[in-house]
Amino acid sequence: MQLRPLGRSGLQVSPLAFGGNVFGWTVDEALSFRLLDAWLDAGFNFIDTADVYSSWVPGHSGGESETIIGKWLRQSGKRDRVVLATKLGKPMGEGKKGLSPAYIHEAVDASLRRLQTDRIDLYQSHDDDPDTPLSDTAEAFAALIKAGKVRAIGASNFSAPRLAEALDVAEKQGLPRYESLQPLYNLYDRAVFEEALEPLCLARGVGVINFYALAAGFLTGKYRSPADAAKSARGGSTTKKYLNARGLRILDALDAAARTHGATPGQVAIAWQIARPAVTAPIASATSMKQLEELVAAAALQLSPETIAALDAASAEPAAPAER
Q: How far apart are CA 65 and CA 210, in angstroms?
A: 19
Q: Which of 93, 6, 94 has its CA nearest to residue 51?
A: 93
Among this protein's residues, is 53 annotated catalytic?
Answer: yes
| Cβ-based neighbours of 266, under 8 Å, separated by 6 or more | 214, 219, 220, 221, 294, 298
DSSP 23: B
The closest alpha carbon to 164, from 143, 145, 178, belongs to: 178
Q: Say which of 53, 103, 123, 178 is annotated catalytic.
A: 53
Contact call for residues 261 and 233 (beta carbons, < 8 A): no
Q: Computed from CA positions of residues 273, 276, 282, 288, in that sequence, does the dihedral angle turn out positive or negative?
A: positive
**23 pairs with which residues across the strands?**
27
What span, in angstroms and rounded, lies between the C-alpha atoms of 53 and 51? 6
3-state secondary structure of 77: coil
User: Could you list the active site residues?
Assistant: 53
